[in-house]
Amino acid sequence: MRRFLEKAQGDRLEALYVLAVTCGMRLGELLALRWGDLDLENGYLMVQRTLRFSKGTWSYTEPKTAHGRRKIILTSVACEALRRHRAHQATERLALGPIWTNTELVFTDEVGQPLRGITVYRDRFVPLCKRADVPTIRFHDLRHTAATLLLLQGVNAKVVSEMLGHASVTITLSLYAHVLPDMQKDAAAALDRLLLQA
């Protein structure tokens, strides 16, 4: 992930990749994100909707589950990437003047229009994976990577579940069961350290 994010630096969609890896958001949620959903001063965002493109039309829909509407606390890395992205987008908007479409979306094409998920994946994400010399994965796998990294860092599964917008922690635990054996070893080692202190 470090290599991938290093190669993403300066990319027009760097902030999108940073959010995917640090927040575990779905691509449709990222593409539906509006500037009004962000509070960079206090370091959080609100997931309110998802964006879909079907039969030549854009539509905003409710998140996948009731828990899909959620508040996510941002890392400082994500806040900085979003600040740079906002400045770059403001420059684009000023340069284009009336050609720019003001959708209030955080992630847009070069004239302010919504992005299509397939275009992001095929034209931006896959070439970035190649440049970073990392395996080409599905964009959704960044969500899985975020969850796995959080769990491996000892973040409570309930917190990870809330960040991902899962309906219950049971879903999170079943999806990421492969991480649990290592966590149990770490837990046993932590108890040993506590109990064997002189």
Which residues does the annotation mark as catalytic? 26, 55, 140, 143, 166, 176
For residue 176, count CB atoms less than 10 angstroms from its CB and return exposed for 0-12, middle for 13-18, buried for 19 or more.
Answer: buried
Instruction: Give CA–CA dist 157/140, Å, rounded.
Output: 19
Instruction: Give CA–CA dist 195/187, Å, rounded.
Output: 12
Instruction: Give CA–CA dist 121/139, Å, rounded.
Output: 7
Angle at 82 between CA 76 and CA 83, to 5 degrees: 90
For residue 16, count CB atoms less than 10 angstroms from its CB and return exposed for 0-12, middle for 13-18, buried for 19 or more.
Answer: buried
Instruction: Give CA–CA dist 88/63, Å, rounded.
Output: 28
Instruction: Give CA–CA dist 48/75, Å, rounded.
Output: 19
